Structure 1
Amino acid sequence: MDLAFLHPLYEHPGPWASVYVDLSVHAEDTARQRHLTAEAMARDLRDQGADEATCDAVREAIEELRHSSEPYGRALFARAGEIVLDPSLARAPQGGSWAAWAPLPRTSPLLDLEGEDAVCVVAYIDRKGADFELRSAVTREDAGSVAGRQWPVHRTSSSDWSERHFQLRVENTWEHNAAEIADALAVCEEETRADLLILVGEERERHAVRDRLPQRLHDRVVEASHGAGSRLLDAEVEKVRAEHERARADAELERFLAGRAPDSEGRVIAAEGVPALVEAAREHRIDELLIRPDGPDNHREVWIGADPDQLAVRRTDLKVLGEQNSWPARADDALIRSAVATAAPAVSVATASGAQREDVPVGGLGALLRWS
C-alpha cells in the first residue's frame, strides 16, 4: 500500500483522534443509528481525554454521514478541532465503529480496511466496440468507451463466392475492432493505473482483444465467465479482485521469507521484531513494512519524538539521541509514520497463505530493508 496519502497526518503534532466508522448497515432507522454513533464516538474520545473542539468536529463529521450510501465505512483523523483526513474504507471495521485518542494517528488498521484495494477496469466488449468501467471496493464509475467499425459485423451462412467475400470483410472488421479496443484499453490502464483488466463478452471477442493487448499487460488480464447481464458478474469481479490481493500479499511474504537468509554479499534484507525495526527506521532503511494485524508486537509501547526518525524502545534511548521531548506510542503506528517519511510502502499479510504461521513475521511486525 502506497502511504503517500497519509502525509497530512504527520505535518502537525498530536495528539490525534482516530475514528473508524462502520457504514455497512443500511436500514429504515440508519439515520438515527448513525446519529447515536456520532454521539458515542464523541463521548468515547472525551472520556479518553480529547479536547472538546475535536470531539465536536468528529461528531459533526459522522452526523454528515447519516444518509451516506457508502457500502463499508469511513476513517476520520482529527486534531485541534479539525478533520485532517477522512478516507473511505474498502471493508467495514471489524466489531463496529470505534475511536482512539493517542499521540499518533491509528493508521495501521487502514492496511486491512483500505489497503490493497485492487482497482480494475471492466471492459464490456462486443463486435462494435467496448465500454470501460473502473471498479474498486467502493467506486464504480465510467472509464470511457471505444467504437470500432460498425459494418459489416455479422456473418452469413451462404457459400456463394460473393458471400464468402462478405464474410472475409466481416473477419477484417472484427480484427480491426479488436485492435481498436485493445489499444484503447491499454491507454485506459495507463491513465487509471489499474491493477487488473477484466474482459466481459463473447469468448471470441474476449480472446481477440486479449491477443492484441501489449505483452506487459497479459498477466493482468482476466476473462470473465459471466456476461454483462448476469447477476453473477459482480460476484465474479469481486472474487478476481480478492484473489489478486491475496496473490500480492503472498508475493511480499515470500520476498520477506527469502530475505531472512543472507544474500551473496552476506546481507540479510529482512528484519523483524521491534528493536530491529526501530533501529532500521532511525537509519531510514525500511524499504517495505509488513504487518500481521493480530501480532502481539503491534501494540507494544515505543517512544517517539517530534520527528519520524526519532523513536526508540526505551525513553532513555531518545535522550541519548538528543531528543528531550518524548511520548509513548504503539509500535505499528510509529513505524508507519517512519515509513511515510521515507516513502516506504506497507502491506498487511493477513490474507497471505503463510499468514497462518504465528512467526511470520515474528511478533507481527517485519520489514524488507534497503541498503546503501
Structure 2
Amino acid sequence: MELGFLKPLFDRPGPWASVYIDTTRGTEDAPAQQRLRERAVANRLIDEGADAYTTRALMLTLAEEPVSGTPPGRALFAAGAEVVLDIPLVRAPLVGEAAWSTLPHTSPLVGLVDALPPCVIAYIDRTGADLEIRDSLRRVPVGRAEGREWRSHRSVPEDRYEWHYRNKTENIWQENAELIAAELTRRRPEIGAEALVLVGDARERRAVYAQLPEPMRAMTVEAERGNRSSAHDDQLERRITEVRTEQARGRLESALERFRVGRGRPGDHRSGPSGAVDTGPGGAAEGVPALVDAARSHQVETMLMAEAASDAARDVWIGPGPDQIAVQRSEAHAMGVARPERARADDALMRSAAGADANVLLVPQGMRGPSGGLGAVLRWSF
C-alpha cells in the first residue's frame, strides 16, 4: 500500500477525528440503520473530547452520501472543523470505529483500502489500442495508440494481386503492433503500474507482446476475453482481479523473504525460491524499538503490519515532525521535542513511513510475519 495519499493528514496539526463506517445499503431498513451508525459515531467522538464543529463537519459529510454507487465503507479524517480526507473502502469495517487522538488513526486502512496494485489494460485491435489504468474502484482512461488501417477499394482476385494484398495487410499489422508496444513502453514510467494486461484477439495480442522490451514482458499477461469495443465482461473482470492479486501476493512474499533474511544472524545469508534480494543481516527491523530507530533515519523501505498486531496499540512519544518519534518521553526530549505527546505505535509509524515515501504491506493471518506484528524491510543495513 502506497502512502502518498495520506500526506495531507500529516501536514497539519491535530487533534484528529478518525471514523470508519459501514455504508452498505442492502436491506430495506438500511437508511435507518445508517442514521443510527452515524449517531453512534457522533456520540463516541463527543465522549472522547472532540469539538462540536469538527463533529458537525463529519456528520454533514456522511449525510451527503449518495444512495446508489456507494462503496461498502468509508474512512473520514477531520480536524479543525474540516473533513480533510474521505476515503472509499473496498470492504466494510467489521466494527464501526471513531477515535479522537493526536494523530489520525490510519492503521486500519491497511486492511480496508484497495491494497492490490493497479494494472494497465490495453484493449487491442488491428488499428490501435485503448489504454486504461484499473484498480478495485476505478477504471481511468490514460490514452490510446492509433495505427494505420489499410482498406482495399476493390475485390481481391485469386491471382498475383492476392499476395500483394496479404503482404500489405501483414506489414500494417506489424507496424501497428510496434506502435502500440512503443506507446506502452513510453507511458510505463508515468503510469507506474506493476502489471500489464493485453486484451484482444490472440494474433494481435501476441504481435504486441513480441515487440515489448524484456522487462515489460515479465509484467505482462494476456486475457483471452474482451476486445477494444467490448462492454463489461465478467470473465475479463475476474482475470484482471486475478492478475492484480498475483502481483500483490508476489510483492508480499518478496518482502517477507527479504525481512527473514535481513533479521538473520551475522553470516547467515540465504536466498529463497522467489529469488528475493538478500539484504543481509541488519536489513530488517522487528518490534517497536527497532522500527522507531529505523523510522527516525528514514531507513524504512517497506513496513510490515500483521492483522491484529499485538504491538500496534503500544504507546510511543512523538513531536510535530514525522521523524520525531521515540519509545521513551525522555528520548523525545533529547531529540529536541519540547512537548512530546503520546500516540499509538502503528499510527506514528504510519506517519513516519508516509514521510519517508515508504509503503506498508498487510501480513494476513496464517503467514509468518514479524514478532509482535510490526516489522520492516530497510533501505540499507548497518
Q: Which TM class, normalised by the smaller chain length?
A: 0.7 to 0.9
Displacement of 1:135 after TM fit? 1.1
Map 1:181-260 to 2 at 5 A: 181-228=180-227, 229=230, 230-260=233-263
- Does 2:344 correspond to 1:330? yes
SS in 1 for 2:204: helix
| CA deviation map 1:86-121 (0-9, x unaligned) | 2333x2133153222222111112223225332122
Is residue 43–residue 55 contact of structure 1 (8 Å, CA) maintained in 2? Answer: no
Is residue 38–residue 58 contact of structure 1 (8 Å, CA) maintained in 2? Answer: no
CA distance in 2, matches of 1:318, 1:173: 67
Query: What TM-score, normalized to structure 1?
Result: 0.87
CA distance in 1, matches of 2:109, 2:156: 58
- Residue in 2 that maps onto 1:361: 370
Is residue 262–residue 280 contact of structure 2 (8 Å, CA) maintained in 1? Answer: no
RMSD: 2.8
Count of matched residue pairs: 364
Is residue 70–residue 138 contact of structure 1 (8 Å, CA) maintained in 2? Answer: no
Q: 2:285 aligns with which of 264, 267, 271?
A: 271
CA 77–122 in structure 1, closer or farther in 2 if over 3 Å, else same: same
- Residue in 2 that maps onto 1:296: 310
- Residue in 2 that maps onto 1:10: 10
- Does 2:77 correspond to 1:60? no
| CA deviation map 1:233-286 (0-9, x unaligned) | 111111211111111111111111111134789851111011222233334433
Is residue 24–residue 30 contact of structure 2 (8 Å, CA) maintained in 1? Answer: no
Which letter maps to 1:361? P
Is residue 34–residue 62 contact of structure 1 (8 Å, CA) maintained in 2? Answer: no
SS in 1 for 2:113: helix
CA 343–185 in structure 1, closer or farther in 2 if over 3 Å, else same: closer
CA distance in 1, matches of 2:157, 2:242: 43
Which letter maps to 2:320? A
Structure 1: segments with no counterpart, 5+ residues: none
Displacement of 1:26 after TM fit? 4.9
Which letter maps to 2:223? A
Query: What TM-score, normalized to structure 2?
Result: 0.85
Which letter maps to 2:366? Q
SS in 1 for 2:177: helix
CA 23–142 in structure 1, closer or farther in 2 if over 3 Å, else same: farther
Which letter maps to 1:142? P
Displacement of 1:197 after TM fit? 1.3
CA distance in 2, matches of 1:284, 1:329: 19
- Does 2:181 correspond to 1:177? no
Which letter maps to 2:370? P
170-179 vs 108-117, which moves further: 108-117
Which letter maps to 1:248? R
Is residue 306–residue 325 contact of structure 1 (8 Å, CA) maintained in 2? Answer: no
CA 249–24 in structure 1, closer or farther in 2 if over 3 Å, else same: farther
Is residue 249–residue 347 contact of structure 1 (8 Å, CA) maintained in 2? Answer: yes
- Residue in 1 that maps onto 2:134: 135
307-316 vs 122-131, which moves further: 307-316
CA 366–161 in structure 1, closer or farther in 2 if over 3 Å, else same: same
Displacement of 1:224 after TM fit? 0.8
Structure 2: segments with no counterpart, 5+ residues: 270-278
SS in 2 for 1:114: coil
